[in-house]
Every structure is written in C-alpha cells, then in structure tokens.
Amino acid sequence: MKALRYTTILAGTGVALYGVVGLLTAPEVRRPADVTAWLLGGVVLHDAVLAPVVFALCWLAARTTSPRVRRALAAALLVAGATTLVAAPILLHGRVAIR
C-alpha cells in the first residue's frame, strides 16, 4: 500500500511540475507573475471565503432539509460551482470573443 501511495505522490508531483514548466514557457502567457497571483488568489479565496461558507451552508442544510433535498442541493451546487470556476476568468476580465 505504501508503494501505491508513493507512486501516486510521485506522479502528482510530476504532473504539477509539467504544468508549471508549461505555464512558464507558453508563448501565450505574456506575464507569468499575473497568472501566479491569480492562482494564489484563488487558493486564498477558497480557503478564507468559499470553504467556510460551504461548511456553514452544509451544516444548515443537514439540520433543516431531508436527505432527498440535500442530494438535489449537492448536485445543483456542484454544477454551479464548476460553471463559476470555468466562467470566472471571462466574467472578471470581460474579454469575450464572439465569432
């Protein structure tokens, strides 16, 4: 079991390093420092704002709704969260190229 854990950690580290090298060498990225700040800001926003709000809402939902309603809420929030994550850069920068 330890071998699987270490292999997974090694593979994850390799993928992360590949992503960082790709980000720093991509010609489309003109200012890597801006991308780094955006990524770090996302981590801080998640840990300081989003996670506590989600925990509070889950606590409230667990005490006030039935299991069936909780499942529907979980599905709706999962879709809304993923959509927001994908759309956030476009919404924040307002640059939409419609062709």
CA–chain centroid gap for 30, Å, is: 23
d(CA 91, CA 49): 19
What pLDDT does residue 16 have?
93
User: Could you read off the pLDDT tens digit of each residue along the chain, which spans 99 residues?
Assistant: 899 999 999 999 999 999 888 888 888 888 888 888 888 888 898 889 888 988 898 889 889 999 999 889 888 988 988 888 788 777 777 665 555
Quote the CA–CA distance of 23 and 36 in Å, as a whole number. 10
Q: What pLDDT, on a 0 to 100 scale, did the predictor assign at position 15? A: 96
pLDDT at 11: 97
Does pTM top 0.75 for this prediction? no
d(CA 54, CA 69): 16
